[in-house]
Amino acid sequence: MAFSSCFCPSHIHLKTGYPRRVIRPGRPVEKDGQKFFSLGSNSTELSGRQVAKLGADLLSDWSFIGGSRIAIRPKLARAIVYRKHSGVHASWLSSYQLASTAFTLGTAAVLPFYTLMVVAPKAELTRKSMESSIPYVVLGVLYAYLLYLSWTPDTVRLMFASQYWLPELPGIAKMFSSEMTLASAWIHLLAVDLFAARQVFHDGLENEIETRHSVSLCLLFCPIGIVSHVLTKALTRSAASTRRGT
């Protein structure tokens, strides 16, 4: 039997459960009286894994008894399998970017209100802006969303770690090691500080007390801003009563 009669097709199709690929025979290589045909395919993707290189040797042997034989010998040593990268890293990046964006947008959103209360406390625009509840609703919704994203099954356990169901510093520190939790806490502080600054502002307008310094302190040091307003109010009343007495 002639060798060409056994190897007529120029293409060998391998039928598998994966997408059909064509394996072409390479140039024959003769070694120890035997002919080798190298079969190879380009990299493909199988079941979520990328196969870098698959190859096989086509062995041709001739004898007067059995005629010509063709055997395919796979090259297992050349098969290199790469696992796809996990999507955890991408999701971590997206969570970090979301927390960073919420942090920046929340900070930028409250600055115009503080600016109006400090620069133009008696302007009509300032009064209408500080009477609106829209800023607190927006900050509240944003805080609730970030709290939902940062919530884990261990959140309650970390918040109330003691046997008396009271917060403890190590548990709170571990809970705030997450960027998402920090972003939600920052939005929480922005909403509370702005609300306290508005109360100081309205009280100053009602009692004709200077509040610019106290409002400014409420932006970053809210308790100090409240104390500053209480002291300012007491000093203003004391000075007014002194003037009336004289």
pLDDT of residue 151: 87
Identify the band that residue 86 occupies on the pLDDT scale cut at 50, 70 and 90: very low
What mean pLDDT comes out for the span 8-36?
48
Q: Is the pLDDT of residue 66 over 80?
A: no
What mean pLDDT comes out for the span 217-234?
95
pLDDT of residue 48: 43
Scored b (16 or more CB within 10 A) or e, 164-175 reads eeeeeeebeeeb
Spatial CB neighbours of 20, under 8 Å, sequence gap ≥ 6: 13
Establish how many alpha carbons lie within 13 A of residue 133's alpha carbon, considering only the half-sphere containing its beta carbon.
Answer: 3
The residue with greater pLDDT, 160 or 148, is 148
Q: Say which DSSP state 54 is in.
A: E
pLDDT of residue 28: 56
Proportion of the chain above pLDDT 90, given as a percent: 42
**Hey, which residues does 41 pair with through a beta bridge?**
54
Identify the band that residue 30 occupies on the pLDDT scale cut at 50, 70 and 90: low
Q: Extract the runs of DSSP E, i.e. beta strands, from 32-66.
A: 34-41, 44-46, 49-51, 54-63
Report d(CA 75, CA 70) in Å as an integer.
16
Q: Is 0.75 surpassed by the pTM of this model? A: no
Q: Say which DSSP state 14 is in.
A: E
Report d(CA 49, CA 110) in Å as an integer.
49
pLDDT of residue 236: 93
Identify the band that residue 154 occupies on the pLDDT scale cut at 50, 70 and 90: confident
What mean pLDDT comes out for the span 86-110?
75
Identify the band that residue 185 occupies on the pLDDT scale cut at 50, 70 and 90: very high
pLDDT of residue 153: 81
Mean pLDDT of all residues belonging to the chain: 74
pLDDT of residue 172: 83
Q: Is the pLDDT of residue 152 over 50?
A: yes
- Edge-first strand order for the sheet with 81-83 is 44-46, 49-51, 81-83
